């Protein structure tokens, strides 16, 4: 799973500036219609001036509506709204604002084509912004969306609120996020990777190191492209050095758990199934590339240590068969810690943490029963995802909270152990020519299982679909 923290500040403009810009570009069309001629009487001139003022007011109102729509698209994309609903919600808002517009979305990019019936012209706006997860600001954006839809606030007020939301800092500052990277690695090491207490402590240290490099990447643009491979190389190198005392597979995969692309692939499959081919294909391909980069980095770090210290060369042991896991009773301590750390990573407000722990805990309990005890490795993820989506949607329907935000930590919890991690293990351990095919098949299989469970749960809770906005649902 991947997260990105922070967003660029948004420059503030007002409707008068937008109107002045429009008049510079298209004002000559208005002048040909509403400018009095030489033979125009005073009464006719007053009528034309009133008509011009009326048209200008209509154009000003249209530009205000368009600017609100642009800000809404930016906020929804930037804070992690599911893309398979983004186009529908923007189209719904455009109809509400009486704007003739079409939308195309890909990860990090929204293209908006607007037809101007007043001047019989059209223009295309391209909005590019980082695609991250910020559930608190996404929830605030959803509130503005709903208030505009119910005519509770004016468009000018909604525009100002969106500007403030986009310009606001993340809910949790860096001094919260940095140790949280280590906490995520510590809890997942015990919960998903059969790690011992020694393994989890080493994973905590390496996780904090990965968090420091993430902060560096956010400040040094040239380092961003090397972030994943650098973290993987360092984790592979250090884990190989300590392999005598630690479990290599548990430590390295726990330390890089925030980077693992399981959530990316699952989201991509959901988007493809929702007929959003562009976004789903791009995201799925990117997830596979990230998985390959992590596998390459861990292998390279292992090889560098072997060459420097002249150790006997051998493949990294990713099977975790020789690990000494902590007692499974400790899982129930690591589970709420892991969910809370995910909530902090995606900037979810603490008032929703208890809901996430209950919903994700129910889903993980089903997964633990079906997969660990009964060995139903194909059915387990489907039923677990179904329980997760069912609990989140019921919670949303009863308490009027957002189902998507509540279920996201649970999806992230299901994804690492069942999608990205097992595929990477197969890539390391298999020497057959079909290793890559086995990796892709296993990752896609589990992503399809999670997708099936989530869609089935939405169908059960909302058999006729949702009448209100689907901004924050599956």
Task: List, run by run, the mean pLDDT of 10-residue segments along the chain (474 residues).
Answer: 40 49 51 51 59 66 85 90 83 87 86 76 83 87 88 89 89 88 90 84 92 90 88 90 84 86 80 78 84 84 82 62 75 88 90 88 86 79 87 82 83 63 52 53 77 83 58 46
Identify whether the C-beta of residue 18 lies closer than 8 Å to the C-beta of residue 67: yes
Burial class of residue 293 (count of CB atoms within 10 Å of its CB; 0-12, 13-18, 19+): middle
* pTM of structure: 0.81
Beta bridge partners of 111: 104, 126
Asked whether residue 445 is assigned to any structural domain, the reply reads yes
- Domain shared by 204 and 163, yes or no: no
Main-chain phi, psi angles of 122, to 5 degrees: -145, 155
CA distance 319 to 289: 22
Asked whether residue 3 is assigned to any structural domain, the reply reads no
Residue with tokens 């295309």: 124
CA distance 4 to 123: 31
- Domain shared by 194 and 137, yes or no: no
- Domain shared by 162 and 203, yes or no: no
**Boundary-marking domain end, from 113, 143, 167:** 167
CA distance 77 to 131: 6
- Domain shared by 256 and 200, yes or no: yes
**Boundary-marking domain end, from 167, 183, 208:** 167
**Boundary-marking domain end, from 136, 167, 198:** 167
Per-residue model confidence (pLDDT) at position 240? 86
- Domain shared by 184 and 117, yes or no: no
Which tokens in the block code for residue 49? 């001036």
Identify whether the C-beta of residue 39 lies closer than 8 Å to the C-beta of residue 129: no
CA distance 104 to 288: 24
Residues in the chain: 474
Per-residue model confidence (pLDDT) at position 453? 85
Q: Which domain does 366 fall in, by range?
A: 174-461
Main-chain phi, psi angles of 151, to 5 degrees: 60, 35
Per-residue model confidence (pLDDT) at position 10? 43
359 alpha-carbon distance from chain centroid? 19
Asked whether residue 31 is assigned to any structural domain, the reply reads no
- Domain shared by 149 and 217, yes or no: no
Asked whether residue 78 is assigned to any structural domain, the reply reads yes
Q: How far is CA 93 from CA 40, 68, 230, in A?
A: 42, 10, 43
Per-residue model confidence (pLDDT) at position 221? 85
Identify whether the C-beta of residue 360 lies closer than 8 Å to the C-beta of residue 392: no
- Domain shared by 366 and 266, yes or no: yes
Report CA torsion sign: 206, 210, 216, 219.
negative
DSSP state of 330: G
Asked whether residue 278 is assigned to any structural domain, the reply reads yes
Asked whether residue 370 is assigned to any structural domain, the reply reads yes
CA distance 267 to 325: 31
Question: 132-153 b/e with 16+ CB inside 10 Å = b?
Answer: bbbbbbbbbbbebbeebeeeee
The domain total for the chain is: 2
């Amino acid at each position: 799973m991947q997260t990105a923290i922070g967003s660029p500040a948004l420059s503030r403009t007002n409707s008068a500036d937008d109107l002045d810009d429009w008049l510079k570009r298209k004002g000559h069309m208005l002048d040909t219609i509403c400018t009095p001629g030489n033979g125009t009487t005073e009464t006719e001139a007053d009528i034309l001036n009133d008509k011009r003022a009326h048209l200008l007011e209509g154009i000003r109102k249209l530009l205000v509506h368009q600017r609100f729509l642009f800000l809404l698209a930016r906020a929804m994309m930037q804070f992690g709204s599911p893309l398979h609903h983004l186009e529908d919600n923007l189209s719904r808002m455009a109809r509400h604002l009486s704007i003739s517009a079409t939308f195309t979305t890909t990860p990090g990019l929204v293209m908006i084509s607007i037809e101007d019936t007043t001047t019989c012209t059209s223009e295309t706006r391209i909005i590019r912004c980082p695609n991250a997860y910020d559930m608190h600001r996404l929830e605030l954006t959803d509130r503005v969306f709903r208030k505009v839809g119910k005519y509770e606030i004016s468009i000018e007020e909604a525009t100002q609120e969106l500007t403030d939301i986009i310009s606001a800092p993340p809910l949790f500052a860096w001094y919260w996020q940095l140790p949280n990277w280590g906490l995520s690695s510590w809890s997942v090491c015990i919960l998903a990777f059969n790690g011992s207490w020694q393994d989890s402590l080493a994973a905590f240290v390496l996780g904090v190191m990965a968090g420091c490099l993430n902060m560096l990447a956010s400040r040094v643009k040239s380092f961003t492209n090397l972030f994943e491979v650098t973290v993987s190389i360092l984790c592979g190198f250090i884990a190989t050095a300590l392999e005598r005392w630690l479990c290599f597979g548990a430590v390295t995969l726990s330390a890089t758990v925030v980077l693992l692309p399981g959530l990316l692939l699952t989201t991509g499959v959901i988007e493809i199934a929702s007929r959003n081919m562009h976004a789903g294909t791009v995201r799925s391909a990117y997830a596979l590339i990230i998985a390959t980069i992590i596998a390459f980095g861990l292998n390279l770090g292992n090889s560098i240590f072997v060459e420097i210290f002249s150790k006997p060369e051998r493949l990294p042991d990713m099977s975790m068969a020789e690990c000494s896991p902590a007692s499974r009773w400790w899982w129930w301590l690591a589970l709420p810690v892991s969910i809370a750390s995910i909530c902090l990573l995606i900037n979810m407000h603490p008032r929703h943490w208890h809901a996430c722990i209950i919903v994700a805990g129910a889903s993980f309990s089903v997964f633990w029963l079906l997969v660990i005890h009964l060995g139903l490795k194909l059915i387990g993820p489907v039923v677990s995802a179904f329980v997760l989506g069912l609990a989140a949607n019921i919670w949303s329907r009863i308490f009027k909270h957002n189902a998507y935000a509540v279920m996201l930590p649970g999806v992230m919890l299901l994804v690492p152990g069942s999608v990205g991690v097992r595929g990477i293990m197969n890539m390391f351990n298999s020497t057959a020519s079909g290793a890559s095919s086995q990796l892709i098949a296993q990752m896609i299989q589990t992503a399809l299982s999670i997708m099936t469970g989530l869609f089935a749960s939405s169908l059960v809770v909302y058999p006729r679909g949702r009448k209100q906005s689907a901004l924050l649902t599956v």
